[in-house]
Structures are given as structure tokens and as C-alpha cells.
Amino acid sequence: MSHDLTSGDVALMGVPLDLHSSFLQGPAFAPGRIREALHSGAANLTAEDGTDLGATERFKDTGDLDVFEMMGQEPIDRIEAGAAARIETGARLLSLGGDHSVAFPLIKAHADRYEGLNILHIDSHPDLYDSQQIGPLGHGCPFARVMETGKINRLVQVGIRTMNAHQQDQADKFGVEVIDMRNWRPDLEISFDGPVYLSLDLDALDPAFAPGVSHHEPGGLSTREVIDLIHRFKGQLVGADIVELNPHRDPYGMTAMLAAKFVKEIGARLLSR
């Protein structure tokens, strides 16, 4: 199950799950759409720092995880096992959701490997609900589940603009550091000591830049701001996910191409170690 991964590689893995979406289905189709955009003849595989993902053997696409492979096994458990199998090789994992519920098992697998793991969470929503109508594994709950493990050093959230009273209580309870859009400045310095996992929900961006998401939240980040944040935050990036692309709402594949851009920039940073 190693997919010929070795230490120093970056593994791309699709996680086609939208079972825990509260509003619309569609993100399960996202990994394929992102790959189509990534390999489109309209662009190339070179990141802004000059790293060409297509010219290195260290960037390896390990395909989509079959989240329903084992009957009776919760897909969340299957995702954790698939992530763990890849990162135990020493490779770094870049996952394509799927809805944001997939972040819980992905981060849990990383926290088991990297002691003192920090999280940089870019999103319009804090995703700290204790539970939703669809249950405690809903896509609005992953960071409550993550923080309950007690294995996370710091959780820093950027782009938040939907914080309600319950989630504020949860943020206070878990000691979450929230940089909401009212207080966001492009020159803010974000720094971590130790390993960092990046979880990027595409609805962190203003709908003008990312219309192909299930939840449109006006007043968000620009494409340039997110790219600069990926480039500039200080810390050792060890894993990442890009989630919540909904191809059903993506005119002309605009948001899929945006996600592919983030794959290149995050992939390049993961390769740089």
C-alpha cells in the first residue's frame, strides 16, 4: 500500500467523500475535476517558485482512496488508515477532498506521527460544532473532533466570517486562535514552532474568486492573499488538504483551476521541506 513512496516524496491522494455535507452533495466529484485542471493544456505544472511538479519523480499521485472499500467500516476510519499508510513511508501527504469532514481523520493520522502538530486552517467557517443534524462527524465539526484528541499544539484559523455563539464557546474552550476577516491584513505574520498541517477550505475565498463551493460566504480572501499565505507562513509544513470544491456549482471549471493552482503551490512547499 506504499505506492512506491519513500521519504522525501509528496503523495497526492483523492478523498471522494461528501457523505457528511450538511447542505449540498457534490464535493465527492472534486478530486477528478482538480486533476483535470492540474493537467489541463491551458496551464503547466510549475509553481511560482519555479518548482515543476511534472519534472520531478518525487511528486506522486497515489489515486483516490476507496472510502467505502470495507463494508461496515466508517469511511472516516478508512481515510485515517489510508493517510497513515502513506505518511508512514516518510512521504508528505496532500489530500484532495471531499467535504471538510475528511480533515478529521487526515489530521488525526498526522498527529499520531508528528508530535506537537500545529494546524493552519483557512476557511470562512470555524467548523467547531459539537454536532450537526447529520451528526458529530459533519463537515461543520472536524476541528472540534480534532481538538478533542488532545494532540494538537495550536489551531490557528484564518478567514473566518461566520462565527456564531456556540462555535465561539467552542473556540474559547479549545484555545483556538481566530483571525477573522474583520481583523485580517495581508501583512499579518503567522508563525509556528514545529510541524504544521494546512487545511484549506475553498470557501475561505470570496465567491468572486471561488464560486464552485456549496456555501457562498461573501467578504472573503482573494486568490493572491491565499497564495501569499501559503508562501509566507513560518513553520515546517508536513501535510495538507484542499476541500469543498463542488463541481456542480463551478462555472467553466474556474474553481477547479483555482484548486489546481493551490496544489502546485502547496506541493512545491511540501517538496522543499
- Binding-site positions read 100, 123, 125, 127, 201, 203
Report the candidate in 268, 172, 159, 177 with the shortest Cα–Cα distance to residue 218: 159
Query: Rounded CA gap, 246 and 251, in Å?
Result: 10
81, amino acid identity: A
DSSP secondary structure, 130-176, as one string: S-BTTBTTSTT-HHHHHHHTS-EEEEEEEEE----HHHHHHHHHHT-
Give the Cα separation of 203 and 259 in Å (integer).
Answer: 11
Partners of residue 180 on adjacent β-strands: 160
The annotation places the binding site for Mn(2+) at 100, 123, 125, 127, 201, 203
Question: Count of alpha carbons within 13 Å of 211, Cβ hemisphere only?
Answer: 8
Cβ contacts of 44 within 8 Å, gap of 6 or more: 52, 54
Distance CA 221, CA 38 (A): 22
Q: What are the distances in angstroms from CA 176 to CA 48, 186, 251?
A: 31, 20, 35
